[in-house]
Amino acid sequence: MEQDVFKKMLKEKGLKVTGQRLLVLETIGAHPGEHLTAEEIFDLARAKSPEIGLATIYRALQMLVNLHVIRRVSFDDGLARYELSRELGGERHHHHHAICLGCKTVFSLEEDLLEPLEQNLLERLGFDVTDHEVKLYGYCRACRQKNPWAGGHEAEELFTTDDKMQKGKRTMKIEKKELEESD
């Protein structure tokens, strides 16, 4: 299991293998496809280890990111979120997220469709892409069927006539969901 790979990485870097660090990694690993926040990881971890502190979570997350074991992503709601890197071995990552402006669900796309783009970039501009992150904003099938306005362009419902602009920002739904074909 990858727990062992992780332990080895720690030792190689002269870092200590602690229960807390293992727990943080295990917690993220137990929720594949989700994009947990530090607070969410804290709550989940605390369920197993009530004495763990939030600062420890942050420190472990920081370390895991630096070791490229996990990845920090953000969906512009002001919160950092974390997800497991696909391969600890060093394979390329594929990060495509489709965010529905209607229901705020974040869908994960598995396929990597940027290869040609990146090849092009290297050849023409000399920029060598080692990783990427793609966010697609739009409307999912369900929202499009429910709301005719969701077929076209801008997300008008995000703006209210008066001055009270997007309050409850912290409540964005981030779900474990992958787009599925159904045609």
Q: How far is the CB of 20 from DNA (least distance, A)?
A: 3
- Residue whose tokens read 């870097």: 13
The C-alpha atoms of residue 92 and residue 70 are separated, in whole angstroms, by 13
Residue 109 CB coordination number (10 Å): 15
Between 27 and 143, name the residue whose CB sits nearer to DNA.
Answer: 27
* Residue 125 is a binding residue for its own copies (CB under 8 A): yes
| Dihedral sign computed on CA atoms, order 42, 104, 106, 31 | positive
Half-sphere CA count of 130, side-chain side, radius 13 A: 2
Q: How far is the CB of 47 from its own copies (least distance, A)?
A: 27
Between 49 and 119, name the residue whose CB sits nearer to DNA.
Answer: 49
Q: How far is the CB of 130 from its own copies (least distance, A)?
A: 5
Total residues in contact with its own copies, by rule CB under 8 A: 64
Strand order in the sheet with 80-84: 36-37, 80-84, 70-74
Gyration radius (Cα) of the chain, Å: 19
List of residues contacting DNA (CB under 7 A): 11, 14-21, 37-39, 49, 51-56, 58-60, 62, 78-80, 162-163, 167, 169-170
Between 72 and 135, name the residue whose CB sits nearer to DNA.
Answer: 72
* Residue 180 is a binding residue for its own copies (CB under 8 A): yes
Q: In angstroms, how far apart are the furthest CA atoms of the chain?
A: 58
Q: Which of 68, 73, 77, 79 is nearest to 25 (CA)?
A: 68
- Answer for which of 10, 24, 44, 63 binds its own copies (CB under 8 A) is 63
Six token digits for residue 81: 């979120």
Q: How far is the CB of 124 from DNA (least distance, A)?
A: 34
* Residue 28 is a binding residue for its own copies (CB under 8 A): no
Six token digits for residue 43: 């709550």
Question: Which residues of this protein are in contact with its own copies, per CB under 8 A?
Answer: 13-15, 62-63, 66-68, 72, 74, 76, 78, 80, 90, 98, 100-101, 107, 109, 113-114, 116-118, 120-121, 123-141, 144, 150-155, 158-159, 161-163, 165-166, 179-183
